[in-house]
Amino acid sequence: MAEIRISYNVNPKGQVGARPQKIAPGEECTFILLEPGKLEITFIDGSPAADDKLTFEHNGKFTAKNPGPQDQRSFQFKCKMTDPQGKEVEVGDPNVPRSGGEIEIGK
């Protein structure tokens, strides 16, 4: 299972590690928030999920699509993180390089 890790404490805030994170077609994936709080992930430019779902929460799981040769393979997402005190931080403006996160299907 691929873990897509999200953190308030990385620069830029959002996805931890290499971007895009590569996942295999048909692989099960989950989003993990590394700090206490709530997490909401929204894909901006289409969904990598086999069921085309666009929004996921902390520990939300999906199975990656099995894209055809002409299908989209790279997917950007934005993160809305709410800390235990209720402060919201939203990252993932597609106009801000490397904010939020990105995954790519096709290991």
Per-residue pLDDT of the chain (107 residues; tens, 9 = 90+): 999 999 988 887 889 998 899 999 999 999 999 999 999 999 988 999 999 999 999 999 999 999 888 888 999 999 999 989 999 988 876 566 667 899 999 86
- Look at the chain and report how many structural domains it folds into: 1
- Which pLDDT does position 51 carry in this prediction? 95
53: left (phi over 0), alpha (psi -120 to 50) or beta: beta
The reported pLDDT for the residue numbered 37 is 93
Q: What is the pLDDT of residue 95?
A: 63
Write down the pLDDT at residue 98. 66
Of 92, 66, 68, nearest in space to 4 by CA: 92
User: What pTM was estimated for this model as a whole?
Assistant: 0.89
Of 81, 104, 103, 96, nearest to 14 by C-alpha is: 81
Chain Cα centroid distance, residue 37: 16
Which domain range does residue 17 map to? 2-105
Residue 32 structure tokens: 């993990």
Query: What's the CATH number where 48 sits?
Result: 2.60.40
Beta bridge partner(s), residue 41: 56, 79
Report residue 74 as tokens: 């790279």
Q: How many residues does the chain have?
A: 107
Residue 91: per-residue pLDDT: 81
Cis preceding-peptide flag for 12 (omega within 30 of 0): yes
